Chains A and B, each alone.
Chain A
Amino acid sequence: MKTWRALSILSLASLAAALPAAAPRKASIETRLQRVEDDLAIRRVLVDYATFLDGRDYASYANLFAPDGEWVNGAGSHKGRAAIREMLGKMMGPAGAPNSANYHIITNPRIDIAGDRATATSRYLFVMRGPDGRPTPSLAGIYRDDLVRIAGQWKIQRRVADDIMPTPEEYRKIMAARKAAAQ
C-alpha cells in the first residue's frame, strides 16, 4: 500500500511537472471510454432502426425514440411513440407480418456527441424486390437525428428523413407504374 501511495504521489508530481500550465487538459480515461461506448451505442441505434422497420417490429422501433420523440419527413411529422407506431401501420402494413419485399441498407454514420445529447447523420438505401425478384434500389436519402440519453440509453429525440431521390411525386409515379405492371 505504501509503495502504491509513493508511486501515486510520484506519478502525480511527474505528471504535473510534465504538463505545461497552459496545456489543454486531456479528458479522463473514463470520459474518453464513455465517448467510444456512446459512439458504438448510437451506431447500434441507427442500424436497429432498419432491423425493426424491416422486421415489422413496430413496438421495438417506437422504443428507439424518446417518449416525446418525433419522426419527420417531407409529408409531415409524427410525435410520440403511439403516433409513430400508427404511422408505421399505415405506411408498412400490419405489425409482425413477414417481409421479404424490401429492406433498408444503412451506411455513412457521422456522430457528434456532447454529454447526454448527440447529433447524427446517416444514409439509407431502400431496396425493393423488382418485378423479376431482383433487388432494385428504390429510394435513397439522408437521416438527420437528434439523440438524447435517457436513463442511460440513447434514444432518438427527432429524426428527419430527407428523401434525396426520387422526389415524392416521382416515387408515387414509379409505384403506380409497378402496380399496373403487376396486374
Chain B
Amino acid sequence: MIRAGIAFILCAAMGGASAQAAPRPAHPSIEQRLQRAEDEIAIRRILIDYHWDMDMRDFDAYAALFAKNGVWTSGDQVHQGPAEIRKMMVGIFGEPKPGQPNRRSIEITTNPEITIDGDRAHARSRHLLIWRGPDGSPQPMLAGRYEDDLIRENGQWKILKRIDYPVMPTIEEWGALMRARAAAATPAK
C-alpha cells in the first residue's frame, strides 16, 4: 500500500508537470494545488516586502522586486526597469544613509486579493502611510490602493506593473499639505 501511495503521488506529480501548460485544469493535481498555495504566499510576501524595503530605505531590494521590464506608474508618472525605479526612489527620499534608519514613517499593507493564472498573476492591495505627528504620535497621512500584474521570472515572482492609486488626499491636496508642513517647519524670520 505504501508503494501504491508513492506511485499515486508520483503519478500526480508527473500529471502536474505534463498538465502545467494547460490553462486552469478542472481537476488540479495535489502538486498544482500546493503550487497555488506557495504562489499565494510568495506574492503576499512581495506586497509586504515592497513597504519593508521602502521603509528601510533599501532601494536595491525595492527595485529588485520588479521584473526586468517592470513598470511603476501613478498618474502620468511612468518608471520602467529596476534601475529607473531605484532612481525614482532616490529622487523622492535621497540616497540612503547607512546607520540612519527611517523612523519618520511606517506603511501598513492590507487587503491582498490575489488571482493566479500559471506564471502570471494579478493582485490588489491597500496601504495606509503613517507619519510622525507634531507630538510624535502616528498620524495617517495617505490612503491608497495598488493594482499589480505579476510574472514568474526565473522561478521568482516579480512585479511586471504596479499602478499606484492614491485615494485620499488627492494629489492637489497632498501638495498643499506638504507646503503647509514645510512652512511650519521653517522658523519664522
Contacts and interface: CB of A to CB of B under 8 A. Distances in A.
Interface of A: 1, 4-5, 7-8, 11-12, 14-15, 18, 29, 32-33, 35-36, 39, 105, 107-110, 121, 123, 125, 136-142, 164-167, 170-171, 173-174
Interface of B: 3-4, 6-11, 13-14, 17, 30-31, 34, 37-38, 41, 45, 48-49, 51-52, 103-104, 106-110, 130, 132, 135-140
A166 B31 contact: no
27 contacts: A1-B4, A4-B7, A5-B7, A7-B10, A7-B11, A8-B6, A11-B14, A14-B14, A29-B13, A29-B30, A107-B108, A108-B108, A108-B109, A123-B108, A125-B138, A137-B137, A140-B106, A140-B130, A140-B138, A164-B103, A164-B106, A165-B103, A165-B104, A165-B130, A165-B137, A170-B135, A171-B136
Contacts of B104: 165
B10 A11 contact: yes
Nearest to B47: A108
Contacts of A32: 34, 38
A61 to B, nearest CB: 23
Contacts of B135: 166, 170, 173-174
Contacts of A33: 34
A35 B51 CA distance: 24
B137 A166 contact: yes
Nearest to A140: B138
B30 A167 contact: no
Contacts of B11: 7, 11
A125 B135 CA distance: 16
Nearest to B9: A29
Contact of A167 (B14, B49, B136): B136
Given A32-B38, A166-B132, A7 B103 contact: no
B136 A36 contact: no
A61 B159 CA distance: 38
B180 to A, nearest CB: 20
B55 to A, nearest CB: 9
Given A165-B138, A166-B132, A29 B31 contact: yes
Given A36-B38, A137-B139, A8 B10 contact: yes
Contacts of B108: 105, 107-108, 123, 125
A167 B17 CA distance: 54
A81 B79 CA distance: 50
A91 B122 CA distance: 44
